[in-house]
Amino acid sequence: MAELASLNRGSKRKHHAHGGKDRTKTFSKNKKKTNRGKYNDNDSIASTDEEFAEENNKFQAEESGTEEEEETAQEKKLRIAKKYLEEIEAKEKDLAEFEEGAVARRLREEYLEEKGWLRKTVASKYTGHEDLITLRCKEHRDSITCICLSSNGQILYSGSKNGAVVKWSLEQRKKLNSIKTKRKAEAAAKDNLKCIQCIAISTDNKFLVVGDAKLREIKIFCGNTLSHLKNLPGHRACVTGLVFRKDTHTLYSASEDRSVKVWNLDDMAYVETLFGHQSGITSIDALSRERAITSGGFDGSVRIWKIVEESQLIFNGHGGSIDAVKLINEENFLSCGDDGNLSVWSSIKKKPLCRVAEAHGRDETNMQPMWISSIATFLNTDLVASGSRNGEIKLWKCDDSFRSLHPLFVVKLTGFINALAFTPDGKSLIAGVGQQHRLGNWWRIPDAKNSIVIIPLIMTNVAK
């Protein structure tokens, strides 16, 4: 079992007066006040048949009202459940084939995904890629550092080193909107975006959050209009990773100050801080569970933060800096680093289940392992991808037990592969390419174009 340690918390959970996570409402029952006058034991208390009948009618009316309220609540639950089933059925009918039992299969998959037991074997279907599609715009003057996709896979957000955030339509293959960088006179302001480090979009596309390499706060924008909503200060160094818990507005943030913070964006409130890493955190990821997973850079560790249990699991394995970590499902995850190793882990094993040393070969100029700069996973499947600073993108197949990685094919680009993401349907792989590495300015590839590259993947027709 992975090493278990207690969480060192910077502070207890804080909740604002106007809302918070553990709020409870207290309900007080209205008690009827009775006028108690002094009377002798010999005095009689008047009680007529009319008064008794009136009290009985009031009691029956209250009972019937309670039954109606309970019935209304039950009907509401039934109506919501029926509506949810209709939505699932409508989504399934939109697919090319609609078979009997599709709704039951969908519900079963959602249950297994929530429990972390869902496994889909799809990697063997992928045989190559079609012609690449390149998206460029004037806002991304410098290297693209990060990308994120909407839950339906139709909208893409990208950030670059010059402080620009661009919203793209993957269906129309064009730019929809952008957060432009300020002019030189305005760029000196402390709260302006200067170098985008990480971005994340909530499942319902309501909130887009941005972390900047020059700022110590999280900037929140509207996912649709890109209008600025609020800043969340609190970190003591730049924010290096952002992720939403699936289907919620709970945000996890990671920073070079070695801490993880939890936020509730419904109330725009800070919740708590988690400590444990010995160096600046380089990436963070999360799915449906109330957990987050982080890579600790030069401390050589990956940590799973169990928020509810107030504990953390510690994993050690790389020989250098661990630059990125990505969940494959709720139980397994992928990591990479500057040592060129690509590792697959299980949350119940302290060491990697498998490791591919020098996954992208060696640099011919200095004979050092090629630095893996980005990774991506197709959720709940056996398909993963890795990108290196030499422009190579490799797709890999995990075996059934995640104890080995087998290369499928290579996509060759020019530039640093700074970000990768699979579309939710698995039909495309999106890459963010730049002239420089996303974490620094050590090298520059003049021939590279700062762009978004869409890689349509070829799959064999295999029945579901």
Query: Could you tell me the two tokens for 33?
Result: 């006040």
pLDDT at 16: 43
Between the alpha carbon of residue 298 and those of residues 278, 315, 322, 396, the distances in Å are 8, 13, 7, 26
* Residue 174 lies inside a defined structural domain of this protein: yes
pLDDT at 260: 97
Q: What is the CATH number of the domain that holds 377?
A: 2.130.10.10
Instruction: Give the C-alpha separation, 386 to 375, whole Å.
Output: 4
* Residue 37 lies inside a defined structural domain of this protein: no
Instruction: Count the neighbouring beta carbons within 10 Å of the beta carbon of residue 59.
Output: 10
* Residue 51 lies inside a defined structural domain of this protein: no
Instruction: Give the C-alpha separation, 230 to 249, whole Å.
Output: 14
pLDDT at 366: 83
- Counting as low any pLDDT under 70, the low residues of the chain are 1-71, 85, 88-103, 106, 113-117, 182-191, 462-464
pLDDT at 76: 73
Collapsing DSSP to helix, strand or coil, 186 comes out as helix
Of 369, 365, 364, 373, which Cα lies nearest the Cα of 391? Answer: 373
Of 326, 400, 380, which Cα lies nearest the Cα of 118? Answer: 380
> Judging by DSSP bridges, how do beta strands 392-398 and 383-388 pair with one another?
antiparallel
Of 344, 378, 379, 380, which Cα lies nearest the Cα of 359? Answer: 344
Of 439, 456, 318, which Cα lies nearest the Cα of 389? Answer: 439
239-277 burial string, b = 16+ CB within 10 Å, else e?
Answer: bbbbbbbbebbbbbbbbbbbbbbbbbbebbbbbbbbebb
* Residue 64 lies inside a defined structural domain of this protein: no
pLDDT at 14: 42
* Distance from the Cα of residue 423 to its chain's centroid: 14
Q: Which domain holds residue 339?
A: 123-459
Contact 256, 240 (CB under 8 A): yes
* Residue 84 lies inside a defined structural domain of this protein: no
- Please tell me what DSSP assigns to residue 124: G
Taking each continuous run of H as one helix and of E as one strand, the counts in the chain are: 3, 31
* Residue 389 lies inside a defined structural domain of this protein: yes
* Residue 49 lies inside a defined structural domain of this protein: no
* Residue 11 lies inside a defined structural domain of this protein: no
Contact 3, 269 (CB under 8 A): no
Contact 295, 255 (CB under 8 A): no
- Domain count within the chain: 1
Instruction: Give the C-alpha separation, 261 to 279, whole Å.
Output: 16
pLDDT at 365: 82
Query: Could you tell me the two tokens for 335?
Result: 């990591």
pLDDT at 1: 45
